Amino acid sequence: MSENQHSTDVTSADQNTFADPGIPEHQHRRGDVDAAASKRAERQVVVLFAISVIGTIASLVAYFAFRPDGTTSGTRLSTLTLGLGMAFALLGIGLAAVHWAKAIMNDTEVSEERHQLSSPDDVREAAVASLKAGVDDSGIARRGMLKGAALSALALFPLTIAVPLVSSVGGDWNVSKLRHTRWEKGMRLATDPTGRPIKASDVTIGSVFHVIPDVSEKERSSGEWLSEKAKAVVLLIRLDPRDLHEADDRKGWSYDGIVAYSKICTHVGCPVALYEQQTHHLLCPCHQSTFDVADGAKVVFGPAHRPLPQLPITVDDDGYLVAQSDFHEPVGPSYWERLK
């Protein structure tokens, strides 16, 4: 198996290529020639295994000594001590085994022949013959009907699983829900997360409110609420009316410089949360799309394409801000039939 040939002639017979000098000469380690070094290596391996045992014991001691008390620092201490014990227990074993292999076990390289991966020709022929015999036996080549029937049955049966699955996996499949949010005419704007309705007089110039529809406490702790909230969240900002450029068809959508825009980024839907007072820019932290609140929340930078949808607002008789209607377009990221 192993052969350490050392040829001295540099070139092979044809003189066009060099000759392979063979496996390099084996270098002996200290431990191979010096009994004391070998003994020392053995002792080192024993010590490493002993460190592992100590690590395990330390971990058990830590288990009893540091009980997590519910505070972050207590939990950290318990994590640290348990983990260090564990790490030593593992590293001791690992280093011992590797040191053993490297310092004590035989390190002479051996060479093994590789065998051709492909099967010999006669084996291939026999394989083809067996398959052919099988195909002939089944008669599949001659009986077209049979083949068709078998394939149809196999192709169809997954439907028995797929149809019930697909019918329910998408909930009610009513994708038109993407067009509507919880906002409706007269619904008050409330603060997120406390749910306190907002008076127009509370909104000073330059201030920003994170807003949800004013729904009952009960609705807000229901399972469906997060899905509704995921569409309905709004940012409320008051600008100096002189800074505000409004499109003609949206003149009546703001109230005294107060504008309300969907907080859901038109890129891929992150909450747009960072407002810069001086520039009136809203920045989406996810991919930095930047919207100009003073100018219809149009995109001024980044990967979003469309302005944030605007929620038309006004005030009710008690001076609370209310929605005039739902949004006039679907909020959030674009999808194929958005405009249909």
The structure tokens listed for 166 are: 């697909």
Least distance to other proteins from the beta carbon of 26, Å? 12
Block residue for tokens 């002993």: 50
Among other proteins, ligand FES, none, residue 96 binds (CB under 5-8 Å by kind): other proteins
Site mask for other proteins (CB under 8 A), range 26-65, x = bound? -------------------------------------x--
Q: Is 77 in the site for other proteins (CB under 8 A)?
A: no
In the complex with other proteins, the residue whose CB is nearer, 53 or 175, is 175
Q: Is 63 helix (H, G, I), strand (E, B) or coil?
A: helix
Tokens encoding 222: 């229901």
Instruction: Work out how close the CB of 228 gets to ligand FES at its nearest, in angstroms, rounded to a whole number.
Output: 20
195 binds ligand FES (CB under 6 A): no
How many chain residues are in contact with other proteins, going by CB under 8 A?
A: 107
Q: DSSP for 252-271, please give it.
A: GGSBTTEEEEE-B-TTT--B
Query: CA Rg, the chain, in Å?
Result: 38
Q: Which one-letter amino acid corresponds to residue 11?
A: T
Q: Which of 89, 233, 244, 284 binds ligand FES (CB under 6 A)?
A: 284
Site for other proteins in 229-268 (CB under 8 A): 229-231, 233, 263-264, 267-268
Angle in degrees, CA 290, 291, 293, rounded to 5: 145
Q: At what angle do helices 35-65 and 72-99 cross, to 10 degrees?
A: 160
Work out the widest C-alpha separation in the chain, in whole angstroms: 106
Site for other proteins in 293-332 (CB under 8 A): 299, 301-306, 332
- 304: contact with ligand FES by CB under 6 A: yes
Other beta carbons within 10 Å of 33 = 9
Query: Among residues 91, 208, 270, 273, which is the contact residue for ligand FES, using CB under 6 A?
Result: 270
CA 38 – CA 105 distance, rounded (Å): 10
Task: Pick out residues in 144-203 that bind other proteins (CB under 8 A).
Answer: 166, 169-173, 175, 177-178, 192-193
Q: Length of the chain, please?
A: 340
Binding mask 206-245 for ligand FES (x = CB under 6 A): ----------------------------------------
Q: In what order do the strands lie in the sheet with 274-276?
A: 274-276, 281-283, 290-292, 298-301
Q: Which of the stretches 30-38, 148-156, 176-184, 260-268 binds ligand FES when contact is defined by CB under 6 A?
A: 260-268
Which entry of ligand FES, other proteins, none binds 76, CB below 5 to 8 A by partner kind?
Answer: other proteins
Under DSSP, the state recorded for 189 is E
DSSP β-bridge partners for residue 235? 210, 261
Cα(332)–Cα(310) distance, integer angstroms: 12
Residues that bind ligand FES (CB under 6 A): 265, 267-270, 284, 286-287, 289, 302-304
